[in-house]
Chain A
Amino acid sequence: MSDASTPPPAPRKRESVIGTRQRKVDGLAKSTGRALYTDDISLPGMLHGKILRSPHPHAHILGIDTSAAEALPGVFGVVTGAEMPTPYGIIVWTPDEQALATERVRYIGDGVAAVAAADEETANQAVELIRVEYEILEPIFDPEEAIRRTDVQIHEPSRQGRNGNISKIVELEFGDLQAGFSDSAVVVNGEYFFEGTTHTPIEPHCAIGFWEEGGVPNGRLTVWSSTQVPHYLHRELARVLELDPAKVRVVQPPVGGGFGGKSEPFDLEFCVARLAIKTGRPVKILYTREEVFYAHRGRHPFHMSYRIGATAEGRLEAVEARTILDGGAYSSFGLVTTYYSGQLLTAPYHIPAYRFHSTRAFTNKPACGPKRGHGSVQPRFAFEVTLDRLAERLGVDPIELRRRNFMGERTRTVNELRVTSNGFLECLDAVERASGWKERHRNLPFGQGLGVAGSCYISGTNYPIYPNEMPQSAVQLQVDRSGRVAVFSGASDIGQGSDSLVAYIVCEELGVPLDYVRVLSSDTDFTPVDLGAYSSRVTFMLGNACVDAARKLARTVKAAVGEQWETDPERVLLADGFAMDAADTSRRIRIAEAFQLTEARFGTLGSVGSYNTPKDVHGEYRGATIGASPAYSFTAHVAEVEVDADTGFVEVRRIWIAHDCGRALNPAIVEGQMEGSAYMGFAEALMEEHIFKDEAHGRAGLHNAPSLLDYRIPTSLDTPELVSLIVESIDPEGPYGAKEAGEGPLHPSIPAIANAIYNAVGVRMDALPFSPPRVWAALQRKAMEGEERVAAD
């Protein structure tokens, strides 16, 4: 039973691989160009597919005529939604998408038909020949308008009297909010707008379908895809294509970046599968960069109102939030996003009373979904800026204010989430020290400033996307007589290093060198189920599963060697390529010999390990499980900015990132995640806007800038200096004490930069991004009105 009363962890055993800087198992394959990504795979006879997309943001499909496309020489097959009409959705309760739309399109870019042809040019020509008859419907682009209106319905209402433009409403209240506010000495309000942003992996989505007819495989489908969720894709492919899941194989090659943008099925995966079945030839579809922007599933735009009540000393008494989420055309992960918009705000500060009300609306734009820091980056921005206002109002140092509100470790949040390890104070100390905060904050000249922010994030969601009792992650180990160990891992390495993680653990536990470990991952025919690379679950869950498998195997080896040496198996150490006697380490045999001995004694060597989450880490109310995690990571940032008051241009010079990752299993990889996260937050703060044209600026609903030139992401010259400060709190349940590092460190970047801008020039930036026109306008307004804050746009 794990609870707030869990005893502190046992003293750490000294590890020799874990905790050290190591190469990655695929590092050289990637730097030599040998790594084969999905688009690098070519199969004999392979066709190229292309998807026809809707030019209208909202329309009925009255008819589709594919005859001219089918007649074009070089075209092998055409498919429409009628051939795979089963609705699907990554969240099993909200299946509102189709592989290709059958009756209605809901955004410019919605897929309606697909072709497979001998080459890309012919495929492009063929989609142009498909005639679709549309009945144009009125589109809605503004979420508040969508909530108000009932005459235009983007989706059919789920039941009578409901508004089909509302995707999800969550309202939860904890503690005595009224008393909290009436006991407060000070109440601070804020209105905020977080603009939508998108993942922008450098690899566009790609999938290949392959169908085997006849012989033993008869009716077997293989799909290679740049997905982050092979298991969920496997399930959805089988369901939508009406195939036995045992006859569907999903292989995930190395993925060229995901960030949440490849964590649900997309039209191309269904289309390559259906077209492969139809044509009997392998079919590949590679999204163009434009299509990646339209596929989206990125950060939701949020309109947020915050009210915070506190004592005269700055201790929080009550927090109230109202949020409107612009969900775009489909549900995607929206149910979870709507919960996360409130549920994940309740740490690292002690909040006695809390209410949030969040409404996700459908609009006729590409669907929003989970981007790194899913659903909690936006409220964190609003909340941490409101905290800065509170500190300002009370004349308390912003770091000190955060310290005063620290919730502690081994406790529960107001919404009953169990928190185990918590290194947030150490994070604050680290950024305060490294940034020279005490000497420099408020002592810098006009135009220069420092800002601080904190945050917390989950190390994996406690529950799978479809309800089941099975493990969340698993690995299998196989041992060769040469001393080589193979790891079959279901997890998706999308660059974060999960293949390397399992290799390090095997080295640590079995004493084999890194080059004696092979990793085969994310192939649903050969690897055990892992739920995917999302919600920062991989290190914690896969790591625990691998420790489980490796320790079981180590016990067997130690038993065999101990028997041979007539000694206690506990005395047998597996390290540095040897099995040795802990009491006399000169007594040793090579690990290969130890494996042979064990195989002779116990038979073929292998091992399985799995991890499932503890189920007593959340409350009992409806929605209590969403936001529950076996452990939480904590982060603090200090950002240093220089603002040019004449132009509104903000330069972020440096971000100090202190992150409690529990334990850094490989510090180089952890720093890489921290730096990449802070970079991505910085990018959202200053540059990125995933926006759509209105009628005054072109065709309404058309993406404003679907290219990497116009949707600006930072170059090496734009990116500030990023200083990683690892904090290790040693989580009692994490593998070797580890928690996540891939998403948490994004959160504080944005409010830390906003707070630093205020510190530098005295304007509150409450709407993203903090681009020169916005900052300049804020400075003008301040000069004219003499006010110190700017309302959200």
Chain B
Amino acid sequence: VKDLLQLRINGQDHEIAVPSHYTLLETLRYGVGLTGSKQGCDKGDCGACTVWLEGLPTLACITPVFEALGREVRTVEGLAGFRTAPGVPHPLQDAFDVCGAAQCGFCTPGILMSAAALLESNPSASRQEIKEALSGNLCRCTGYTKIIDAVELAGRTLATHRSAPADPRAPDLP
């Protein structure tokens, strides 16, 4: 049995028919075709599926799609252009690239959504605050070091230029 749902995702209205038992993650991935949000465990343990619901980081794999009705959903695909000109990567996305914060990249979309929410409220977050904000997102590649570096760098960028691209070489990162 499918239901016809109205969802607002990344600032766009969608009308989608999906099985009524679908989670928000299944709806995004299989119903809308937004595959940026990942399924790592399907149990709310790993954080790879993290999206925003009304600006709050939310585990899409354990959120029934009905929870998202009438609420603003934002995914990694909607991060570019959110604080930047259309299509321009969010400073976090750029900083992840500059710092080498994405290795396999599978946890990256979820981590970006958790980190972006943190920087919305606190662009000058300390390393400890960043660690706390990311503690629900498992990364298996990086040891988190470069991720924390990237969030710090993006915070500085957001605080100063809001949208200026980071230096691609960035030789002296902390």
**Interface of A toward B, CB cutoff 8 Å:** 20-24, 26-37, 39-40, 42, 121, 199-204, 254-259, 286, 288-289, 494-497, 666, 668-669, 671-672, 675-680, 707-709, 713, 715-717, 719, 721-722, 724
Contacts and interface: CB of A to CB of B under 8 A. Distances in A.
A225 to B, nearest CB: 15
Given A28-B89, A716-B134, A257 B38 contact: no
Contacts of B100: 21, 24, 27, 666, 668-669, 671-672
Interface stretch (B65-73, B105-113, B156-164): B105-113
B75 interface: yes
A32 B89 contact: yes
Contacts of A724: 145
A719 B144 contact: yes
30 contacts: A20-B171, A21-B170, A21-B171, A22-B168, A24-B102, A27-B97, A28-B89, A30-B102, A30-B105, A31-B96, A33-B37, A35-B105, A40-B35, A201-B104, A201-B106, A202-B48, A202-B140, A258-B104, A288-B42, A495-B103, A495-B141, A666-B100, A675-B143, A676-B103, A676-B142, A708-B138, A709-B45, A715-B136, A715-B137, A717-B135
B109 to A, nearest CB: 5
Nearest to B127: A721
Contacts of B29: 40
B41 A289 contact: yes
Interface in B129-152: 130-132, 134-148
Contact of A717 (B36, B99, B112, B131): B131
A652 to B, nearest CB: 12
A289 B107 CA distance: 15
B140 A671 contact: no
A121 B136 CA distance: 28
A708 B108 contact: no
Interface of B: 19, 29-30, 33-43, 45-46, 48, 75-77, 79-80, 89, 92-94, 96-109, 112, 130-132, 134-148, 168-171
Given A202-B107, A708-B41, A33 B76 contact: yes
List the 10 closest A-B pairs by CB distance, nearest first. A33-B36, A256-B106, A495-B104, A30-B105, A679-B143, A27-B97, A40-B35, A708-B45, A495-B103, A675-B143
B93 A32 contact: yes
A393 to B, nearest CB: 34
B144 A37 contact: no
Contacts of A29: 105
B108 A30 contact: yes
A212 B77 CA distance: 33
Contacts of A672: 100, 103, 141-142, 145-146
Contact of A671 (B76, B132, B146, B148): B146
A675 B112 CA distance: 20
Contacts of A23: 97-98, 168
A384 B41 CA distance: 36
A200 B77 CA distance: 26
Given A23-B97, A676-B103, A708-B40, A33 B35 contact: yes
Contact of B132 (A28, A201, A259, A717): A717
A224 to B, nearest CB: 14
Nearest to A200: B140
B104 A33 contact: no
A713 B136 CA distance: 12
Contacts of B109: 33
Nearest to A255: B104
B38 A31 contact: no
A26 B105 contact: yes
B106 A202 contact: yes
B79 A32 contact: yes
A704 B99 CA distance: 37
A668 B146 contact: yes
Given A24-B100, A495-B105, A679 B142 contact: yes
B43 A203 contact: no
Contacts of A677: 143
A31 B34 CA distance: 14
A35 B109 CA distance: 11
Contacts of A286: 39
A254 B105 contact: yes
A497 B101 CA distance: 12
Given A33-B37, A677-B143, A717-B132, 16 more contacts: A28-B97, A31-B89, A31-B112, A32-B80, A33-B75, A200-B140, A203-B38, A256-B104, A257-B141, A259-B140, A675-B146, A679-B143, A707-B43, A708-B138, A715-B138, A722-B143
Contacts of A27: 96-97, 100, 102
A37 B36 contact: no
B29 to A, nearest CB: 8
A713 B103 contact: no
B138 to A, nearest CB: 6
A678 B109 CA distance: 24
Contact of B145 (A31, A713, A722): A722
Given A668-B99, A672-B100, A716 B38 contact: no
Contacts of A254: 104-105
Contacts of B107: 202, 256
Contact of B105 (A256, A676, A721): A256
A181 B12 CA distance: 76
A269 B65 CA distance: 31
A19 B76 CA distance: 32
A556 to B, nearest CB: 30
B45 A31 contact: no
A499 to B, nearest CB: 12
Contacts of A36: 35
Given A23-B97, A202-B48, A675-B145, A257 B104 contact: yes
A722 B131 CA distance: 14
B113 to A, nearest CB: 10
A708 B43 CA distance: 9
A203 B40 contact: yes
Nearest to B150: A31
A203 to B, nearest CB: 4
Contacts of A708: 40-41, 43, 45-46, 138
Contacts of A709: 43, 45
Given A24-B97, A27-B97, A289 B102 contact: no
Nearest to A672: B100
B138 A713 contact: yes
Contacts of A200: 140
Contacts of B77: 32-33
B38 A202 contact: yes
Contacts of A671: 100, 145-146
Contacts of A494: 104
A204 B42 CA distance: 10
In this complex, which of A20, A21, A30, A722 has the most chain B Cβ atoms within 10 angstroms of its Cβ? A30
Contacts of A719: 143-144
Contacts of A31: 76, 89, 92-94, 96-97, 101-102, 105, 108, 112
A677 B76 CA distance: 27
Contact of A716 (B97, B106, B135, B141): B135
Nearest to A494: B104
Nearest to B35: A40
B75 to A, nearest CB: 7
A679 B144 contact: yes
A497 B40 contact: no
A28 B105 CA distance: 10
Contacts of B130: 716
Contacts of A257: 103-104, 106, 140-141
B57 to A, nearest CB: 14
B122 to A, nearest CB: 16
B132 to A, nearest CB: 7
